[in-house]
Chain A
Amino acid sequence: MNIAVCVKQIPDPAAPYELDGENHWVVRPNDQVLDDTDRFGIEVGLQLAETSEGTVTLFSMGPSGSLQGIRQALAMGADKAVLIDDESLKGSDALTTARILAAAMDREGYDVVIAGMESTDGFTGAVPQMISEILDVPCLSFARKVDVADGSVTIERQTTSGYEVVTAELPALLAVTAGVVEPRYPTFKGIMQAKSKPVDTLTASDLGVETHVGQTVASVTDVASREAGEVVEDQGEAYLEIVALLEERKVI
């Protein structure tokens, strides 16, 4: 079984993000990290590969940089990666990203496509659905439990009041939530092996995808932040301050 997993290298979320002054794009350092939300999709893919003697291929679009984030994903156990890095793709919207990733998956072949629900740095939260439409496969989204057997897949799809059980034939795309599985930590062996696993780098023209930009950033301004109020260290009676504030706000 060919298992395609979407991953993204993002600037370390622990450091404050910067926007470039001209285009308002997120500044991307050479060393980017694997988006933590991708680890869940990778884990689902690895577990599926273990039971189906499958191959896990990572698909990613963006500046390669040092490939640190891709190596982190390979270190978990993925077999190889296809990275689309092209200067003309800078500032691409979600639809261009989806077209690129779908074209790369079509070229490599897939039985299951797995993605997270949204990236930590962009969070449009639409790329998995767009890929599904382009590939003409079902989009089993908001999946918190996944079961693949005998050519079909069944998930628990989160809803506002609970969940739905949804089933479809393969090929299908699974967009998973962070609760779906516990991602494994890379082993030392995995980290060493990741250094020599194949990473194919492609351009938009290799895939025959024309970039099309249908939106531009007109302006970016600072939002006035809330003013921090009083911060008190609890010496055993700080709860009284809460009681006083609740009285003042007429909640009690």
Chain B
Amino acid sequence: MTIWVFAEEQAGSPTTGSLELLAKARTLGDASVFYVGEGSDSAWATLGDHGATKVYRLDPGDALPSAGAAAAFAMALESDGGDIVLFGAGNTDRDVAGRLAARLGKPLVAGALDIDTSDGVQVISEILGGSKSITTRVTDDSPALVVTRPKAFVSEAVGGAVPEVTDVAMPDAGRSSATITGRHVEASEGPDLEAAAVVVSGGRGLGSAEGFTMINELAGLLQGAVGGSRAVVDAGWVPYSYQVGQTGKTVKPDVYIACGISGAMQHVVGMKGSSTIIAINKDPDAPIFALSDLGIVGDVHKVVPQLIEALKAR
């Protein structure tokens, strides 16, 4: 089988999500990569080390990649063939996946946690806030297009050789063209949210953006990262890069502390894989308590400062 992995470049390297996809791809067959970015010798070495045997590189320059990348990817699939195309949950992954599916007239299965090829292509995902597991069979001709959940697979360096790299020209997207005229990084402090051993998250129950001062302090004392629910990101209290949930990041820390978070389905999907969950919420009926190892029914503005003082006193 030929398995394609879509890889977007971030800060000069393939995204960690694309390396996770390669771990699955190489167990299913021959792993080819469609790479969007400038690329470098170290990027190719990393992809090879994770099991890629062939790379197509498209450098979009300042064009918004989605339309051109979908057109070029479709041509690569047509010339080289492919059984399954894997995308991560990144924004450009999703944009290219949707446009490619429409271009090829092929179905797209999203939210994949696993893929089974023992009997055709079957995609395993979870629905209804992770309460049901659903197996979807792709009945159409190949390629099957699959968008995966973050951290569905664990990346693994297997010591593969540097793959063959072929340059692909960025097609003229015509009417679908769009240009990136500026790129802005919003600084976030402390450890990487997706890799941290401890995550302290805040929700609407904090009452205001100022509530995050104590969340930052608590996370700092635990060498942890700070997260937030969609509600607080939408309210502008913290940037999108902090968002944990369906439309944000998936975290699986040793300890997750949810402060003033009710536990909406959208949030739970992104953190229910945490080893230990501690929740503080004033509403005794908050759904977050149903999945917490320790739930405190109380005022976050009292409990969190007490906890901070206790940790400082140690």
Contacts and interface: CB of A to CB of B under 8 A. Distances in A.
B110 A164 contact: no
A196 interface: no
A22 interface: no
Interface of B: 10, 64, 66-67, 70, 90-91, 94-95, 97-99, 101-103, 105-111, 122, 126-128, 130-140, 147, 173-186, 197-198, 222, 230, 233-236, 239-241, 246-247, 254-255, 257, 272, 275-278, 284, 289-299, 302-303, 306-307, 310-311, 314
B263 to A, nearest CB: 11
B64 A138 contact: yes
A19 interface: yes
A228 B138 contact: no
Interface string A189-221: 000000000000000000000001111111111
Contacts of B128: 17
Of B95, B103, B126, the most chain A CB neighbours within 10 A belong to B95
Nearest to A144: B240
A51 interface: no
A214 B294 contact: no
A238 interface: yes
A178 interface: yes
Interface stretch (A54-62, A78-86, A244-252): A244-252
Interface residues of A, number: 82
Contacts of A140: 64, 178
B185 A161 contact: yes
A136 B173 CA distance: 9
Closest 9 CB pairs of A and B: A129-B98, A234-B298, A214-B140, A214-B107, A168-B178, A133-B102, A126-B98, A165-B182, A231-B295
A172 B298 CA distance: 48
Given A233-B284, A234-B302, A162 B99 contact: no
Contacts of B91: 141-142, 157-160
Contacts of A141: 66, 91, 94-95
